[in-house]
Amino acid sequence: MSGEVEFLGTPLPLEVKNAMPLMRKVPGPAFTALLQGVVLGTEVPESVMAALGPDAVDIVYTALQVIVDAAVRLQVKTIDFQTAMRNLNMPDAYIKTMSKVLRAKRSEMIASRLDSRISYPSIKRLRWRVDVAISTSAMTRVLKPAILMELSLSDGSKKQFEVSQEKFNDLRYNVALLLKGMEDVEGNVIMKSKKDTLKR
């Protein structure tokens, strides 16, 4: 078995490695039913359970889940996916079926995974003002600016806090640095190729 299955990692996940000898013997209709279960979240038909047995179904289903999840998460190109599956000695008919399903359902699967991930409220509005505190002593009179900030979040809550001028300058610098980093990443050749893949 060739090691060129990069998107699955090295070494090959045991779930996939252990399932391959069995997967090659699964009848076509049963394979399609298991793949639909992975992609669409449908129940495995009783006829498939009876024909393969619960243990075999679990092994093959898990392997397909690992393969599909990795291909979607890493946005693997169709040609690279097909090459990787051939390196696993997957039957050509199954490779065509998986490639067709991934092309048709990739966007839906990505959206589903984004919807199911843990997320936090986003910032909808930012307001701020500068307050100046006057500190006096027998020898000096010092003006101390402070920035009061209010965040309105997507869940309807509001957060208020105060930052010093120094911390505010740090915030400005780090935001500018982050935006520059995002710009550099978007200009990266690899990122452009991934965007082209999604358009296919």
Q: Where are the domains of the chain?
A: 6-116, 123-199
Q: Which two tokens stand for residue 168?
A: 């505010």
pLDDT tops 50 at residue 110: yes
Helix, strand or coil, per DSSP, at residue 163: strand
* One-letter identity of residue 151: L
**pLDDT, average across residues 39-68:** 89
CA distance 84 to 78: 10
pLDDT score of 2: 42
Prior bond of 29 cis (ω within 30°): no
Q: Report the pLDDT value the prediction gives residue 58, as an integer from 0 to 100.
A: 93
Tell me the average pLDDT across 73-85: 87
pLDDT on residue 114:
62
> Quick one: how many helices (H) and strands (E) in the chain?
8, 3
Mean pLDDT over each residue of the chain, to the nearest integer: 81
1 pLDDT above the threshold of 50: no
CB 75 within 8 A of CB 197: yes
CA dihedral 43, 21, 64, 80 (to 10 degrees): -150
What span, in angstroms and rounded, lies between the C-alpha atoms of 141 and 128? 25
Please provide the distance, in angstroms rounded to a whole number, between the alpha carbons at the two ends of the chain.
30
Angle between helix 92-116 and 28-40 (nearest 10): 10
d(CA 159, CA 152): 7
